[in-house]
Amino acid sequence: MTALRLLLLALGAGLLAVPASAADTSAAAQRARFEAEAGRPGQVQAGQQFFTQRHGAQWSCASCHGQPPTQQGRHARTDKRLAPLAPAFNPESFTQSSKVDKWFKRNCNDVVSRECSAGEKADVLAYLLSLSR
Ligand code: HEC
């Protein structure tokens, strides 16, 4: 076996060990995914309303993520600092699909007492992507 082949094998093994936190998507791709699921485009206005309203529970999305969610948020229960949710203000926002799914599920349950629909997620993404510097 040549040294080059050994090197390539080592490289290959290294590449397989991509950490679980690696970016695998983008906010635009997540928006497209939820729009495809919903069968309609996301709406900025509807997303903003959804984000800022309380839905009969204690919190809105903005309670933790801030309004507008372009700055560091503050967890309403634990006071923990949260990185800005709007992608233009946080390059890591919406770059990991497992994280997107995990937090949509958890936060929607906290705020609307159920999972958000694909349309609601598409609206929220449209709103967040409309926020620019
Ligand atoms: C009780 C506090 C709280 C509320 C209310 C809340 N969130 Fe979150 N959210 C968090 C925390 C904590 C994280 C994880 C932040 C981190 O680890 O970077 C998060 C992360 C997220 C993420 C993942 C972002 C990414 O980078 O992939 C999405 C999407 C999200 N929230 C959407 C919402 C939406 C939509 C609502 C309203 C329905 C909402 N959140 C309400 C606390 C909250």
DSSP 3-state assignment of 125?
helix
- 126 neighbors 43 (Cβ within 8 angstroms): yes
Pocket of ligand 1 (CB under 6 A): 59, 61, 63-65, 75-77, 82-83, 85, 93-94, 99-100, 103-104, 107-108, 110-111, 124
- CATH code 1.10.10.10 for 25-130: no
More confident residue, 47 or 57: 47
Q: Ligand 1, residues 31, 33, 65: which to mutate, most atoms within 8 A of Cβ?
A: 65
What's this model's pTM, rounded to 2 decimal places?
0.88
Neighbours of 73 (CB within 10 A): 20
Burial 98-119 (b: 16+ CB within 10 A, else e): ebbeeebeeebebbbeeebebb
pLDDT of 117 higher than 90 = yes
Q: How far is CA 38 from the centre of its chain?
A: 17
| Percent of the chain scoring above 90 in pLDDT | 81
Gap from CA of 2 to ligand 1 centroid (Å) = 50
Residue tagged 């080059």 (tokens): 4
Domain boundaries in the chain? 25-130
